[in-house]
Structure 1
């Protein structure tokens, strides 16, 4: 979330992932993906800098998360091993009917 200021001085937080576009005509107007509009006191370049800083902070915090015991981060994605061949193909799971996890695609 980024903190912004309405023209009346009230502060509010907005999710920058929901911002579809911004205009500076002459006040800075944020238009969200749901169509709602928010007019803010900050100039367009300041809002853009806050969005960039927010996204950089998210990436930085994700990178700094501790590894789990099986060397995965967040327990989701295994980290690449130093000994792994980066040119090796990624093995795919079988989609044959004999595979108990196979389901037909519609």
Structure 2
């Protein structure tokens, strides 16, 4: 899970595997594969970094378990 901040300052955790795409329209909008849209304070680049770090962590755990 990655943590993001909704526009109303509430922190939420989302499953990054459900992210379909991220838009910058001045606000950052995350669209999930479910069709749900979430407006967040983080910039697109920051969310992408969180996503990459999440995937790296998952892959390193999988390698350790082998």
* Same fold, judged at TM 0.5 (above): yes
- In the TM superposition, residue 34 of structure 1 has moved relative to its aligned partner by 1.1
C-alpha distance in 1, partners of 2:38/2:8? 12
- In the TM superposition, residue 27 of structure 1 has moved relative to its aligned partner by 0.8
Specify which structure has the higher proportion of strand: 2
1:25 aligns with 2:28: no
CA RMSD in angstroms comes to 0.7
Structure with bigger RCO (C-alpha 8 Å, 6+ apart): 2
Partner residue of 1:12? 12
Question: After TM superposition, which residue ranges in structure 1, 4 or more long, deviate above 2 angstroms?
Answer: none
Partner residue of 2:62? 62
- In the TM superposition, residue 13 of structure 1 has moved relative to its aligned partner by 0.3
C-alpha distance in 1, partners of 2:31/2:2? 15
Aligned length: 66
1:40 aligns with 2:40: yes
Q: Normalised by the size of structure 2, how large is the TM-score?
A: 0.96
Name the larger-Rg structure: 1
Structure 2: segments with no counterpart, 5+ residues: none
Structure 1: segments with no counterpart, 5+ residues: 66-72, 74-106
